[in-house]
């Protein structure tokens, strides 16, 4: 669990550095993360940023973030508990990191850099007491990457299936004899089975799958247009 906690601490400081920008290198609490980042940390950070929900949708959270009380342990704890009021999910964890980084940025903007250290301390304390066990149950921080990969994979599959369904419904079979040989759509899937297995191998590979699915769909729609002209 300590490894999970250590990674979480690096992730949190890295997220804050990213939010503050170049000024982070002049803040002692953040200087180390500004100078050096492990590739694995960069990947986790990238996923966290993508998963963070829009705070604007939560008016209460927005109000809590804007109050000076956010710079106190009580105010910070109230804000953190509100984020997880409906339970712990990776989306909520991502939002927690985002909110902490925004509070830290607010401190910098208001010339209160001395509050960065306690803000980080409060966040790590909450992480240890409230989130650490749950993160361990998900397989550690790699569980975050796995969920993100699955979300992207199923998004790509859904888009591709939707376009294929449209094509099957509106393209006359006699106009597409190549689809019927040798085994129709099943033959197409069989032909690319190994490729699909390979693309399920990791988060980096899966990132471009929705774009590929969209390209396939666009091609099918263009083909429909050509066939009807």
Q: What is the pLDDT of residues 98-141, one digit of tens each?
A: 999 999 999 999 999 999 999 999 999 999 999 999 999 999 99
pLDDT along the chain (229 residues), means of 10: 92 90 81 71 89 77 90 96 94 94 94 94 97 95 76 46 52 52 52 49 48 56 54
Together in a domain, 136 and 148: no
Whether residue 117 is found in the same domain as residue 215? no
61/156 same-domain check: no
Single residue among 118, 140, 162 that ends a domain in this structure: 140
- Looking at the structure, do residues 147 and 133 belong to the same domain, yes or no? no
In whole angstroms, give the CA distance from residue 139 to residue 202. 16
Which residue, of 140, 163, 197, is where some domain finishes? 140
- Is there a single domain that holds both residue 220 and residue 155? yes
* 52 closest CA partner among 26, 90, 78, 13: 90
> What backbone torsions phi and psi does residue 114 show, to the nearest 5 degrees?
-65, -15
Domain that holds residue 97: 2-140
Residue 29, φ and ψ in degrees, nearest 5: -65, -25
Count of beta carbons in the 10 Å neighbourhood of residue 101: 24
145 is written with which tokens? 């990457």
**Same domain membership, residue 183 and residue 131:** no
Task: Report residue 226 CA to chain centroid gap.
Answer: 38
Number of separate domains in the chain: 2
Question: Do 115 and 71 touch, CB atoms closer than 8 A?
Answer: yes
pLDDT tens per residue, range 75-93: 999 999 999 999 999 999 9
Q: Are residues 217 and 170 in the same domain?
A: yes
- From CA 163, how far away is CA 143, in angstroms rounded? 30
């Amino acid at each position: 669990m300590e490894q999970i906690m250590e990674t979480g601490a690096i992730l949190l400081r890295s997220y804050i550095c990213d939010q503050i920008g170049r000024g982070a290198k002049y803040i002692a609490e953040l200087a180390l993360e500004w100078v050096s980042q492990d590739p694995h940390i960069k990947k986790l950070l990238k996923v966290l940023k993508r998963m963070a929900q829009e705070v604007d949708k939560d008016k209460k959270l927005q109000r809590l973030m804007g109050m000076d009380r956010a710079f106190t342990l009580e105010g910070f704890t109230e804000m953190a508990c509100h984020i997880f009021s409906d339970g712990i999910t990776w989306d909520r964890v991502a939002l927690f990191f985002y909110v902490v980084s925004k509070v830290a940025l607010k401190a910098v903007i208001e010339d209160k850099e001395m509050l960065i250290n306690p803000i980080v301390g409060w966040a790590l304390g909450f992480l240890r007491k409230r989130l650490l066990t749950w993160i361990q149950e998900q397989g550690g921080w790699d569980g975050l990457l796995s969920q993100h990969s699955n979300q992207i994979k199923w998004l790509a599959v859904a888009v591709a299936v939707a376009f294929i369904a449209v094509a099957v419904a509106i393209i006359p079979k006699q106009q597409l004899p190549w689809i019927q040989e040798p085994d129709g759509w099943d033959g197409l899937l069989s032909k690319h089975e190994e490729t699909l297995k390979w693309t399920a191998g990791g988060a980096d590979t899966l990132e471009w799958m929705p774009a590929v699915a969209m390209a396939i769909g666009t091609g099918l729609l263009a083909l429909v247009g050509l066939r009807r002209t």
